[in-house]
């Protein structure tokens, strides 16, 4: 601190990198994770698109139950079965318009702009980079600074929409206990319930939610309740990746269960009525 040395002017030489011809020297199976991601997301998207395009087997009703799959909730198309349309029917019935027109685009955008899914598809579909210390497959790179990727910054808004959709899914769950002849309880309620709980966990563990609830504060000590909320969300947030994949699974599983009951491939296991 006290000695004063001569201070030569430093002009770092325009250096060159070490000449290593191999693009990557990694010897582990770094390609496995991006490959599995491509496989998982493609299979899920294909399944979802097929069932959404079918426009049938989305609502199963019996004496003690009425199950509506999350892929068709809220059902607002004129083609919807009247009992499944909890919020009215006002969208023209046309084969290319999904029955859940009001929710599906937002759900897709919520997952598309999600900080975890961004990591997943940038690495796998876009190869930018496919794995750490493996060169990315593009000549130029500007990240999320320009159109269209600058719109990733709107994640927060789709999060608000996702909260509304989670509320609608919860409402569907409550209605699912009620059939043509009154209250009932069956395996379908359990499937729908698990899905709703996990969807809430995924939605709440979102990085934007963590920021809104408390992360944006500078003084946690002045906001004890928001600090508690932030702590809770931070705990869930560490599992955001796992929740992202688990909810893809439960969404598909729930949808398939409702489809199977609606198509009479299986009958719903009843506990009460």
Closest among 12, 94, 11 to 53, alpha carbons compared: 94
Could you say whether residue 8 binds other proteins (CB under 8 A)?
yes
What's the CA gap between 256 and 44, in Å, rounded?
A: 12
Least Å distance, CB 141 to other proteins, is 5
Could you say whether residue 122 binds other proteins (CB under 8 A)?
yes
Point out which span in 10-18, 86-94, 185-193, 249-257 binds other proteins (CB under 8 A). 10-18
What's the CA gap between 212 and 216, in Å, rounded?
A: 6
What's the CA gap between 262 and 58, in Å, rounded?
A: 7
Residues 23-42 that bind other proteins (CB under 8 A): 24-28
| Tokens 């808004």, located at residue | 157
Could you say whether residue 215 binds other proteins (CB under 8 A)?
yes
Least Å distance, CB 14 to other proteins, is 8
Closest among 82, 57, 83 to 71, alpha carbons compared: 57
Give yes or no for a contact between 144 and 57, defined as CB atoms under 8 angstroms apart.
Answer: no
The interface mask with other proteins, positions 238-257, x = CB under 8 A, is x-------------------
Could you say whether residue 5 binds other proteins (CB under 8 A)?
yes
Q: How far is CA 55 from CA 75, 79, 197, in A?
A: 11, 8, 26
User: 33 or 83, CB closer to other proteins?
Assistant: 33
Residues 144-173 that bind other proteins (CB under 8 A): 144-145, 149-150, 153-156
Residues 73-92 that bind other proteins (CB under 8 A): none
Least Å distance, CB 122 to other proteins, is 5
User: 109 or 259, CB closer to other proteins?
Assistant: 109
Give yes or no for a contact between 112 and 99, defined as CB atoms under 8 angstroms apart.
Answer: no
What's the CA gap between 68 and 80, in Å, rounded?
A: 11
Q: How far is CA 184 from CA 65, 179, 270, in A?
A: 6, 7, 8
Could you say whether residue 119 binds other proteins (CB under 8 A)?
yes
Point out which span in 53-61, 68-76, 102-110, 136-144 binds other proteins (CB under 8 A). 136-144
Give yes or no for a contact between 192 and 254, defined as CB atoms under 8 angstroms apart.
Answer: yes
Q: How many residues bind other proteins (CB under 8 A)?
A: 59
User: 130 or 179, CB closer to other proteins?
Assistant: 130
| Tokens 């087997």, located at residue | 57
* Binder of other proteins out of 88, 92, 135, 249 (CB under 8 A): 135
* Binder of other proteins out of 88, 92, 105, 143 (CB under 8 A): 143
Burial category of 138 from C-beta neighbours within 10 Å (exposed 0-12, middle 13-18, buried 19 and up): exposed
Residues that bind other proteins in the complex, under the rule CB under 8 A: 1, 3-5, 7-10, 12-20, 24-28, 115, 118-119, 122-123, 128-129, 132-136, 140-145, 149-150, 153-156, 207-208, 210-211, 215-216, 218-221, 227, 237-238
């Amino acid at each position: 601190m006290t000695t004063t040395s001569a201070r030569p002017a430093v002009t770092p030489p325009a250096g060159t990198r070490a000449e290593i011809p191999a693009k990557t020297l990694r010897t582990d199976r770094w390609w496995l994770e991006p490959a599995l991601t491509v496989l998982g997301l493609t299979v899920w998207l294909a399944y979802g698109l097929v069932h959404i395009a079918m426009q049938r087997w989305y609502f199963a009703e019996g004496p003690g139950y009425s199950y509506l799959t999350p892929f068709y909730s809220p059902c607002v198309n004129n083609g919807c079965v009247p009992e499944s349309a909890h919020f009215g029917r006002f969208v023209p019935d046309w084969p290319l318009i999904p029955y859940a027109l009001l929710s599906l685009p937002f759900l897709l955008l919520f997952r598309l702009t999600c900080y975890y899914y961004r990591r997943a598809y940038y690495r796998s579909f876009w190869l930018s980079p496919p794995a750490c210390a493996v060169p990315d497959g593009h000549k130029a790179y500007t990240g999320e600074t320009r159109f269209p990727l600058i719109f990733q910054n709107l994640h927060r808004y789709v999060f608000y929409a996702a909260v509304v959709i989670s509320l609608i899914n919860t409402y569907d769950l409550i209605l699912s206990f009620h059939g043509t002849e009154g209250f009932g309880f069956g395996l379908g309620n359990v499937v729908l319930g698990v899905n709703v709980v996990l969807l809430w966990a995924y939605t709440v563990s979102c990085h934007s939610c963590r920021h809104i609830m408390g992360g944006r504060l500078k003084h946690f000590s002045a906001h004890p309740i928001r600090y508690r909320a932030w702590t809770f969300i931070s705990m869930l947030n560490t599992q955001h990746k796992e929740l992202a994949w688990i909810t893809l699974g439960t969404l598909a599983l729930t949808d398939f269960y409702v489809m199977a009951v609606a198509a009479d491939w299986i009958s719903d296991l009843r506990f009460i009525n």
